Chains A and B, each alone.
Chain A
Amino acid sequence: EAGVVQSPRYKIIEKKQPVAFWCNPISGHNTLYWYRQNLGQGPELLIRYENEEAVDDSQLPKDRFSAERLKGVDSTLKIQPAELGDSAVYLCASSPSRAGVNTGELFFGEGSRLTVL
Chain B
Amino acid sequence: SQQGEEDPQALSIQEGENATMNCSYKTSINNLQWYRQNSGRGLVHLILIRSNEREKHSGRLRVTLDTSKKSSSLLITASRAADTASYFCVGGSQGNLIFGKGTKLSVKP
Contacts and interface: CB of A to CB of B under 8 A. Distances in A.
A4 B45 CA distance: 13
Contact of A111 (B42, B93, B101): B42
A43 interface: yes
Secondary structure of the A side of the interface?
A: loop
Contacts of A93: 42-43
B102 A42 contact: yes
Nearest to B43: A108
A57 to B, nearest CB: 11
B92 A100 contact: yes
Interface residues of B, number: 26
Contacts of A79: none
A100 B31 contact: yes
A104 B31 contact: yes
Nearest to A6: B42
A2 interface: no
22 contacts: A42-B99, A43-B43, A43-B88, A44-B99, A45-B96, A45-B97, A93-B43, A98-B94, A100-B92, A101-B30, A103-B48, A104-B30, A104-B31, A104-B33, A104-B92, A104-B97, A105-B33, A106-B43, A106-B45, A106-B97, A108-B43, A111-B42
Interface of A: 4, 33, 35, 40-45, 48, 56, 91, 93, 98-101, 103-111, 113
Given A100-B91, A100-B95, A100-B97, 4 more contacts: A33-B96, A43-B99, A99-B95, A106-B33
